[in-house]
Chains A and B, each alone.
Chain A
Amino acid sequence: MAWIKAGSTTLGSAGDDLDITSMTANKFNQFMSHTLSTTARNHRVTYDNNGATDYAWRQSVNGATDNTATSQQYTNWNNGVGGSDDAFTTVYVLNIDGEEKLEIGYHMTQNTTGATSAPYRREFVSKVDTTTNTGQFTRIDMTNSGAGDYLTNSNLSALGSDGVEELNVQDGAIYYDTDLNKEYVLYNNTWTEL
């Protein structure tokens, strides 16, 4: 298997939705979002359009004591650090058929522009139970529930672990090229002439 681009959306105009609607399903995923805002934004995330109360999370904001939320209609990537500024999130997501879907995430927001203001941060873990959906998700919706918009060029990206390479040949393999009458040995994805 190999890492692949599972999907990505970059806004061409301001809006409230950063959705990847036909994502390739992968067991292990890494999501990244970089949102641009000058008015209030709040990242609410659902999988496969599931808006039922199937979500729960634990979070720490700016290093404070953890708190939790249960039976939510979404997982929230910036709860507690919502603002009107640019934000960056990285999330490791497990997406296994028949199991609860799991997130380990890190989020930071710019705070007021300029180096005189320190950024905010949030650490979180989340899960989606199997009440409504049990299969692998193939869609993620990041919706701004704040009063403002995600601005043009805001992005949500998904990398996935289950890409398939063209051939699976092990290091040490010998390839005899019938055109050139030469032999090559494979090491670290490179063929070297013998």
Chain B
Amino acid sequence: MTIEWLAGNRIRGTTAERPNFGLPSGSVGGWVELARTTLGSDTATVDVSSLDDKRYYMVLSNYNISSGNGNPYFRLNSDIGSNYSARYSLNGSEATNTSQGNGMYGAVAGYNLLPYFTIDYFANLSGKEKLHIGHVAHQNTAGAANAPNRGERHLKHAQTSNPITSYNLWNASGSGDFASGSECVVLGWDPDSDTHTTNFWQELASVDLSGGAADTLDASFTAKKYLWIQYFVKATGGTVVDGFRVGNSTIDTGSNYAYRRSSNGGADGTFTEKDVYAVGAGSVATGEVAMGNIFIINNTSNEKLMIGHTMLAEAAGAANAPGRKESVGKWTNTSNQIDIVQLRNSTGTGDMGTETIMKVWGAD
């Protein structure tokens, strides 16, 4: 028989016809979950072990130390030898270290018990040093009066005998456990051996302004713990200053956002008690385009932490270099998950044009 689509979101068919949710035969998916650890109680470490050997990893972590002195680091393969070196920028200040046994630490120096959200990428070959590119948002003191901290960190693990087999969060101060609920999710992707047709990142919403230029573009979706938003903006009829709002059921227009931002590599600025996360790359003039990439940890009872990278193409043509912004933001709601986001023209004189699009990817 042929599958029948009935009223009321009902479908009728044979066992073989029951829809699968993967890509067509011959396709290979993107990032796929390999393993995760979610703490059910306060615990000294967060270890994700027995990882499949993949060329690339994407690691999503959110955690805090519950008491004592919080000083979280990550290591690989539980290696405590002096085999790590790093170059990193914390709130825009560059630093390096070498021959470290601790691994790599988070966004802020010193002890604290506040939440972190990290995105870590790794390149992994057994006989080669393991290379890392990572981004960090650290909540800082709760409330919109306090801008979050940000980290850009690049690590290498001088270990050339084995592939990455585990990712290990630990508290270098030795005092205090990771709080219950702290989590680390390891995704993998291998160009030569992967055949999966599934994805960790599911499309939650895809919206555009093809119906007409406007100052706002909203996307509603089923809430997920991890969100990845990508957007493209083209300005029309004046300037666009691309900003970002979120909410639960409705967009929060209150002064509940705080963020830290670097423009074109300049010193970080902090912005508190704002009604928008001004993630955008600047003032986009008519006909100019911009893009954004935002990751969010979306836990109900925590402030929502966001990592944003944006660029502005500036005037058309290769004679004009693009601009960029790096930022971290937070939405201070601690009672609901984000299930609606808004790309908006915050202070510009024009509209976001009909070419503007936004995609929301997510996963629990």
Shortest distance in angstroms between A28's beta carbon and chain B's nearest beta carbon? 5
- Count of B residues near A, CB < 8 Å? 92
Chain B positions within 8 Å of A178 at CB level:
1, 12-14
Does A115 lie within 8 Å of B158, measured CB to CB? yes
Contact of B98 among A63, A115, A176 (CB under 8 A): A115
Contact of B201 with A by CB under 8 A: yes
Does B94 lie within 8 Å of A62, measured CB to CB? yes
Shortest distance in angstroms between A57's beta carbon and chain B's nearest beta carbon? 7
Residue-wise interface mask of A (97-116) relative to B, using a CB-CB cutoff of 8 A (1 in contact, 0 not): 00110111011101101111
Does A184 lie within 8 Å of B18, measured CB to CB? yes
Does A28 lie within 8 Å of B23, measured CB to CB? no
Chain B positions within 8 Å of A153 at CB level:
125
Contact of B100 with A by CB under 8 A: yes
Contact of B199 among A3, A129, A176 (CB under 8 A): A3
Does B318 lie within 8 Å of A167, measured CB to CB? no
C-alpha gap A69/B92 in the complex (Å): 23
Does A115 lie within 8 Å of B313, measured CB to CB? no
Does A166 lie within 8 Å of B24, measured CB to CB? yes
Does A175 lie within 8 Å of B19, measured CB to CB? yes
Contact of A94 with B by CB under 8 A: yes
Chain B positions within 8 Å of A104 at CB level:
291, 293, 309-311, 324
Chain B positions within 8 Å of A120 at CB level:
87
Contact of A117 among B11, B98, B230 (CB under 8 A): B98
Using known A-B contacts A27-B357, A173-B10, determine if residue A127 contacts B31 with beta carbons closer than 8 Å.
no
Does B13 lie within 8 Å of A177, measured CB to CB? yes
Q: Which of B9, B99, B318 has the most chain A CB atoms inside 10 A of its CB?
A: B318
Chain B positions within 8 Å of A57 at CB level:
321-322
C-alpha gap A131/B267 in the complex (Å): 34
Contact of A96 among B15, B18, B28, B355 (CB under 8 A): B355
Does B199 lie within 8 Å of A125, measured CB to CB? no
C-alpha gap A70/B289 in the complex (Å): 17
Contact of B40 with A by CB under 8 A: no
Shortest distance in angstroms between B286's beta carbon and chain A's nearest beta carbon? 14
Does A70 lie within 8 Å of B222, measured CB to CB? no
Contact of B121 with A by CB under 8 A: yes
Using known A-B contacts A106-B133, A189-B21, determine if residue A8 contacts B318 with beta carbons closer than 8 Å.
no
C-alpha gap A10/B87 in the complex (Å): 28
Does B29 lie within 8 Å of A58, measured CB to CB? no
Contact of A147 with B by CB under 8 A: no
Chain A positions within 8 Å of B152 at CB level:
106, 121, 123
Which segment of B78-86, B108-116, B164-172, B330-338 sits at the interface?
Answer: B78-86
C-alpha gap A49/B359 in the complex (Å): 29
- Count of A residues near B, CB < 8 Å? 90
Which segment of A40-48, A84-92, A138-146 sits at the interface?
Answer: A84-92
C-alpha gap A28/B292 in the complex (Å): 11
Shortest distance in angstroms between B189's beta carbon and chain A's nearest beta carbon? 7
Does B324 lie within 8 Å of A125, measured CB to CB? yes
Shortest distance in angstroms between B11's beta carbon and chain A's nearest beta carbon? 5
Chain A positions within 8 Å of B129 at CB level:
86, 110, 113
Shortest distance in angstroms between A125's beta carbon and chain B's nearest beta carbon? 4
Chain A positions within 8 Å of B222 at CB level:
171
Chain A positions within 8 Å of B355 at CB level:
96, 99
Shortest distance in angstroms between B21's beta carbon and chain A's nearest beta carbon? 4
C-alpha gap A68/B9 in the complex (Å): 54
Chain B positions within 8 Å of A102 at CB level:
232, 289, 291, 311, 313, 322
Contact of A163 with B by CB under 8 A: yes
Using known A-B contacts A57-B322, A62-B87, determine if residue A119 contacts B128 with beta carbons closer than 8 Å.
no
C-alpha gap A57/B9 in the complex (Å): 49
Contact of B100 among A60, A115, A131 (CB under 8 A): A115
Does A92 lie within 8 Å of B364, measured CB to CB? no
Chain B positions within 8 Å of A161 at CB level:
230, 359
Contact of A56 with B by CB under 8 A: yes
Contact of A36 with B by CB under 8 A: yes
Q: Which residues of A contact B (CB under 8 A)?
A: 1-5, 8, 10, 27-28, 30, 32, 34, 36, 53-58, 60, 62-66, 68-72, 86-88, 90, 92, 94, 96, 99-100, 102-104, 106-108, 110-111, 113-121, 123, 125-131, 153, 155, 157, 159, 161, 163-167, 169-180, 184, 188-189, 191
List 12 other contacts, CB 8 Å, given A58-B323, A72-B318, A127-B318.
Answer: A58-B322, A66-B266, A86-B128, A108-B131, A115-B83, A129-B317, A153-B125, A163-B30, A177-B14, A178-B13, A189-B198, A191-B18
Which 10 residue pairs are nearest across A and B when measured between Cβ atoms? A3-B30, A63-B94, A68-B321, A8-B191, A66-B265, A118-B96, A88-B131, A5-B28, A34-B123, A125-B311
CB-defined A-B contacts under 8 Å, sample of 13: A30-B30, A58-B323, A63-B94, A65-B265, A68-B321, A70-B319, A86-B129, A88-B131, A102-B322, A118-B87, A155-B55, A174-B9, A175-B11
